[in-house]
Amino acid sequence: MSLTSRFASIRNGDSVDFSKVPVVPIEDFRSSILKMAAAKHRLCALFSQATDDRAPAGLLAVLADDIGGRLYLAASQPAASYPTLTPELPQAHLFEREIHESSGVLPEGHPWLKPVRRALADKTPFFQEQGEEVHEVAVGPIHAGIIEPGHFRFQCHGETVHHLEIQLGYQHRGAERLLSAGPDRRSMAVAESICGDTAIAHAWAHCMIREALAGASVSLRDEALRAVVLEVERLSNHIGDLGAISNDIGYLPATAYFGRMRGDFLNMLMLVSGNRYGKGMLQPGGAAFDIPDGMRAQMIETVRRSVTQVKEVADMFFGEPSVISRLEETGTVSMKVCEDLGLVGVCARAAGLDRDVRQDHPFGLYRFRHIPVIKLDSGDVFARAMVRFLEAQRSLEFLNALLENLPEASAGSPCGTPAGNRLSVSLIEGWRGEVCHVAKTGRDGRFEWYKVIDPSFHNWIGLAMALRGGEISDFPLSNKSFNLSYAGHDL
C-alpha cells in the first residue's frame, strides 16, 4: 500500500465527503504523518476534532505536498493519549500543545506541554537557566508601543540571549468557537477580525471554505477583484514593515516616506471597499464591490506612481551602508531551522525556502496568472526586509498588468448553503504567509468545527530561534522583521 493511499487527497479549496477521509488507529495515524513528513510533506494543520475539552477525541492532520500541489488528509480514531510527534517532527510542537489544551488528549512525552491560549502566562512555568551572571528579562504582556500584547522571557548572559520563550494567549477572543457556530450572519465579520492587517486573506480563506462546501463557483471578474485587494493588502503591510524596520534602526527619512506610502495602499482599499483594511470587500460567492473604469484608472495611476516612489526610497534605504550593516547578520534563522519548524511566508523565503501558496497550491486568479516567488538565502533581518521590497515590486507589476486587463464582468452564482458531512481546506498566501482554514460540516450543513491557522502560529518560534546567540538589544529589530500577529495566533 502506498503511503499516500492512507490519506484522502484534495486540492486547495476543494471539499471532500468526510466518509472518504481515512480514520485510522492513532498509532497508524502517527506513523503515517512521520513517513509523509520524511517524504518532504509539510504539516499545515494538526488538531483535535473535539467539540469540548474532554478526551478522548479524534485528531485530524492536513499535510501539504508543495511540489505536487496536493493536500493530504487523515483522521485518527478517538484517543486519550498517544506518543508525542514533536521530538521527531518539531513542526508539530505548537499543534500538539493546542491539541492538549483544547481537547485534553495527551501527547505523551511532549517536551514542553504548556498552554497556548487559554491560561495566563504568569500561571505557567518558563524555561530557566541557572548560573552566575545568568539573568532573566521579562517583557509584556503590555509593550512600550502601540502593539498587541504578549509575554517574552529572555534567558541572558550579559547582552547575549541564550533562550527566548514567547508566551501568548492574551488576545484570545474565541474566534474559532464563533466560527464553529456558523455559517451565520457574523461569520464573515469574525473571519475579517481574526487578524486585522490580514483581513482580506482570512476573509478569502473563509469564503473559499464556504464556496467549496456549497459547490459554488466564483466569476473570473470577482476572482480578479479578490486578487487585486489581496496584493494591495500585501503592499500596505510590506511597505509599512519597511518603514517600521527603518524606524527601529533610527533611519527616519525612510520611516516617514514608507509610512506615507503605506497609506496610499490603505487608501486604495478604502477607495474600492470603503474600509482601509478591505473589511467588507469579500463575500461568499464573490466580491461585494466592483472596480468601475474610472476607479480602475485612478488605481493604475497610483500603482505606477508607487513603482517609482517605492524604488526611490528603497534605493535610498538599502543604499546606505550604515543601514545594511545594521540589518545584515542580525536575527538569522537558517533554512534548516525554517524547514524543521515549518515556518512559512516571508521568513521562510528569506531563508531560501521556495514556499508560496500562490505558486504551490494556486487558488482563485493565481491559477491563471502567476506571480514570481522571491527568495533569498541569508535568513537575517536584511533578507526579510529585502524580500518585502522585492515582493512589493512583484505585486505592483502584477497589479499594473491585472488592472489593465480586468476580466469582463460576468454573473457568478450566489453561494448557497454548505453540503452536509463534508470537509474543506483553504490555503491563502497572506502577506505574512500561509493562512489556512479547515472546516467540517455536520449532517445539517452547519459547521461541526472550524479551525484557523494563521501564519503567525507557525512563525513565532522562528523569532525565538532568531534571537539565540544574538544580543538582547537586537530583539526589537528582529521582532519587527518578523512582524507576527498576536491576535492571529491567539484567535
Partner 1 sequence: MIDIIKNRIKQGYRTSKFPEEDPGLPERFRGRPVIQPELCGSGCAACVEACPTAALEKGKNGLLTLDLGRCLFCTECTAACPEGAVSFTKDHRLAASRREDLLVTGNEAKLAETLGEEMKRLFGRSLKLRQVSAGGCSACEAELTALGNVVFDLGRFGIQFVASPRHADGLVITGPVTRNMSEALRIAYEAVPSPRLVIAVGACGISGGPFIGSEDHLGGAASVVPVDLFIPGCPPHPVTMLDGLLRLLGRLKEDRVGGQDRRVVPD
Binding site for partner 1 (CB under 8 A): 117-120, 141-142, 144-149, 169-175, 177-178, 185-186, 188-190, 192-197, 199, 240, 253, 256-257, 259-260, 262-263, 266-267, 270-277, 279-280, 288-289, 312-313, 316, 319, 485-487, 490
Q: Give the nearer residue to partner 1 in terms of CB position, either 194 or 425.
A: 194
Q: Give the nearer residue to partner 1 in terms of CB position, either 92 or 314.
A: 314
Q: Give the nearer residue to partner 1 in terms of CB position, either 141 or 362.
A: 141
Is 458:434 a contact under the CB 8 Å cutoff? yes
Sorted by sequence, the CB contacts under 8 Å of residue 260 that are 6+ apart come out as none
Q: Give the nearer residue to partner 1 in terms of CB position, either 13 or 243.
A: 243
Give the position of cell 543604499.
319
What is the closest distance, in whole angstroms, from the C-beta atom of residue 220 to partner 1 in the complex?
23
What is the closest distance, in whole angstroms, from the C-beta atom of residue 227 to partner 1 in the complex?
19
The CA-atom distances, in angstroms, between 97 and each of 12, 235, 319 are 26, 33, 44
What is the closest distance, in whole angstroms, from the C-beta atom of residue 329 to partner 1 in the complex?
25
Give the SS3 label for residue 440.
Answer: strand
Q: Give the nearer residue to partner 1 in terms of CB position, either 98 or 197.
A: 197
What is the closest distance, in whole angstroms, from the C-beta atom of residue 447 to partner 1 in the complex?
16
What is the closest distance, in whole angstroms, from the C-beta atom of residue 17 to partner 1 in the complex?
30
Give the span between the Cα atoms of 390 and 254, in whole angstroms. 16
Give the span between the Cα atoms of 291 and 279, in whole angstroms. 16
What is the closest distance, in whole angstroms, from the C-beta atom of residue 489 to partner 1 in the complex?
11
What is the closest distance, in whole angstroms, from the C-beta atom of residue 194 to partner 1 in the complex?
7
Alpha-helical regions (H) of 132-219: 175-180, 187-192, 199-214
What is the closest distance, in whole angstroms, from the C-beta atom of residue 273 to partner 1 in the complex?
7
What value, to the nearest 5°, has the Cα angle with vertex 337 and ends 331 and 338? 85
Amino acid identity, position 130: Q
Is 463:447 a contact under the CB 8 Å cutoff? no
Q: Give the nearer residue to partner 1 in terms of CB position, either 275 or 334.
A: 275
What is the closest distance, in whole angstroms, from the C-beta atom of residue 141 to partner 1 in the complex?
5
Q: Give the nearer residue to partner 1 in terms of CB position, either 120 or 134.
A: 120
Return the beta strands (E) in 32-99 as ranges.
42-48, 59-65, 70-76, 81-83
Give the span between the Cα atoms of 457 and 449, in whole angstroms. 19
Amino acid identity, position 34: L
Amino acid identity, position 289: F
Give the span between the Cα atoms of 220 and 225, in whole angstroms. 9
Q: Give the nearer residue to partner 1 in terms of CB position, either 12 or 167.
A: 167
**Which is nearest to 452 in space by CA: 185, 230, 178?**
178
What is the closest distance, in whole angstroms, from the C-beta atom of residue 269 to partner 1 in the complex?
10
Lay out the sheet containing 134-139: strands in order across.
134-139, 151-157, 160-167
Q: Read off the DSSP letter of residue 406.
A: P
Give the SS3 label for residue 102.
Answer: helix
What is the closest distance, in whole angstroms, from the C-beta atom of residue 68 to partner 1 in the complex?
35
The helix (H) or strand (E) run that includes residue 16 is strand 15-17
C-alpha cell at 195: 487578524
Give the span between the Cα atoms of 375 and 345, in whole angstroms. 10
Give the span between the Cα atoms of 127 and 274, in whole angstroms. 47
